[in-house]
Amino acid sequence: MDRRKFLRGAALGTAAAGSLAAPAIAQSMPKLQWRCTSSFPKSLDTIYAGAENLAKHVSEATDGNFTIQVYASGEIVPGLQAADAVTSGTVEMCHTAASYYVGKNATYALAASTPFGLNARSMHAWAYYGGGLDLLNEFFAGEGLYYVPCGNTGAQMGGWFRKEINSVADMNGLKMRIAGLAGKVMEKLGVVPQQIAGGDIYPSLERGAIDAAEFIGPYDDEKLGFYKVAPYYYYPGWWEGNLLLNCFINLDAWNALPLGYQSLLKTAGAAATLEMLADYDYRNPSAIKHLVQNGALLRAFPQDVMNASFDASQAIYDEITATNPAFKKVYDSQMAFRNESYLWQQVAEYSFDTFMMVKQREGALKMGG
């Protein structure tokens, strides 16, 4: 298009400029059809919706010019191979939990969730304003990936146990479905970590092949019915004080995108992150009530289990930082903020929440319901 003609058009006012600018718009809004492989089944509707919400925001804002088709775990590749399928270019994009890939490099976990790490709000603060996303994308560039946050579950539950845990000694010898860094920490407590797919957890618990299993939180856990075979429901899931979900985009595909599409993907990812957390925060309250009504026995992890797990986590972090400089660089940044953040959170936020929880227990919040 002739630039002088465009500028003349612009001078004629908004409507004229709009119609003359059309070819330029078309160039910057190319038709794109991407595939996004999810690490999750559709039955985990809240978490699966992360990628679907992102795709919907992108498609609607581009009048359907940029579409992203989401495929459930297993439709293209198995859930735990989602990131590899993006690196290799099988698909342009995946939606996953980066903590699945600690076997490749422990640094992945720092994009998603680490034992005794940040909670959801402090994770977002560090990622978006504390330089976290930049540090992570430096690392992921080496993996052929570009990273966009896409969803958060909030703090998860500690999982389902067939027997009550009264002290750290009761953890010794326990066969527990738990993976990744949390599995390594649990090993130091004498737990024998087991890798079991979501659908196989219930029968394994039922026949006693395992003694315990971590999954997500009330809304997702209720669907699988664990309370019937392992009624002790422990909290908190100290390995997932938050779980930030991750979209990985093939780095070449990312770099080939028009700037407008890059910006839109980041905006849609941030919106999808807020939405997933809100979705869980809306669904979990009624789910925890149903679970308890149906026989789930809510228990806090004993303090010595928490402390032993915390100490074991530090030992794991010491081991990793001693040998993995990429991990250490991101970890040091995240941990420096962790200390500052949990100081401030004690003041306005925690004291407000505590007061409201006391009132909730007193029954004083019921008058509106």
For the record, the structure tokens of 150 come out as 């896409």
Q: Residue 126 or residue 147: which is nearer to its own copies going by CB?
A: 126
- What is the b/e burial string over 215-232, where b = at least 16 CB atoms within 10 angstroms of the residue's CB? bbbbbbbbebebbebbbb
Give the CA count within 13 Å in the CB-facing half-sphere of 153: 27
Could you give the C-alpha distances from 43 to 28, 46, 246, 332, in angstroms and in order? 36, 9, 19, 37
Q: Which of 146, 254, 279, 296 is close enough to bind its own copies by CB under 8 A?
A: 279
259 interacts with its own copies by CB under 8 A: yes
Q: Which of 166, 255, 263, 294 is close enough to bind its own copies by CB under 8 A?
A: 263
360 interacts with its own copies by CB under 8 A: yes
Which residues in the 129-148 window bind its own copies by CB under 8 A? Answer: 129-130
Q: Residue 207 or residue 347: which is nearer to its own copies going by CB?
A: 347
Q: Which of 28, 43, 172, 255 is close enough to bind its own copies by CB under 8 A?
A: 28
| Residue partners of 78: CB distance under 8 A and separation at least 6 | none
Which residues in the 292-311 window bind its own copies by CB under 8 A? Answer: 298, 300, 306, 310
Pairing of strands 232-235, 159-161: antiparallel
Measured CA to CA, the distance from residue 238 to residue 225 in angstroms comes to 22
Measured CA to CA, the distance from residue 364 to residue 346 in angstroms comes to 24
For the record, the structure tokens of 299 come out as 């228990």
Which residues in the 107-126 window bind its own copies by CB under 8 A? Answer: 116, 119-122, 124-126
Window contacting its own copies (CB under 8 A); options: 70-78, 182-190, 205-213, 273-281:
273-281
Count of positions on this chain that bind its own copies (CB under 8 A)? 110
Q: Which of 72, 253, 281, 324 is close enough to bind its own copies by CB under 8 A?
A: 281
Q: Which of 38, 81, 246, 284 is close enough to bind its own copies by CB under 8 A?
A: 284
Q: Residue 250 or residue 341: which is nearer to its own copies going by CB?
A: 341
Q: Residue 87 or residue 345: which is nearer to its own copies going by CB?
A: 345
Q: Residue 77 or residue 111: which is nearer to its own copies going by CB?
A: 111
32 interacts with its own copies by CB under 8 A: yes
Measured CA to CA, the distance from residue 18 to residue 10 in angstroms comes to 8
Which residues in the 160-179 window bind its own copies by CB under 8 A? Answer: none
Give the residue from 92, 130, 127 showing the smallest Cα distance to 245: 127
Measured CA to CA, the distance from residue 182 to residue 109 in angstroms comes to 11
Window contacting its own copies (CB under 8 A); options: 99-107, 199-207, 223-231, 285-293:
285-293
21 interacts with its own copies by CB under 8 A: yes
Q: Residue 207 or residue 348: which is nearer to its own copies going by CB?
A: 348
Give the residue from 124, 146, 127, 126 showing the smallest Cα distance to 137: 146
Length of the chain, in residues: 369
364 interacts with its own copies by CB under 8 A: yes
Window contacting its own copies (CB under 8 A); options: 136-144, 176-184, 245-253, 269-277:
269-277
Q: Taking CB under 8 A as the rule, which mask of x and - marks residues 56-95 in contact with its own copies?
A: -x--xxxx-x------------------------------
List strand residue ranges (DSSP E) for the chain, in order: 32-38, 66-71, 93-96, 145-152, 159-161, 175-177, 192-194, 212-213, 232-235, 244-250, 297-300
Which residues in the 196-235 window bind its own copies by CB under 8 A? Answer: 217-218, 235
334 interacts with its own copies by CB under 8 A: yes
Q: Residue 126 or residue 202: which is nearer to its own copies going by CB?
A: 126
Q: Cα angle at 295 between 116 and 224, to 5 degrees?
A: 65
Write the DSSP string, 172-195.
TT-EEE--HHHHHHHHHTT-EEE-
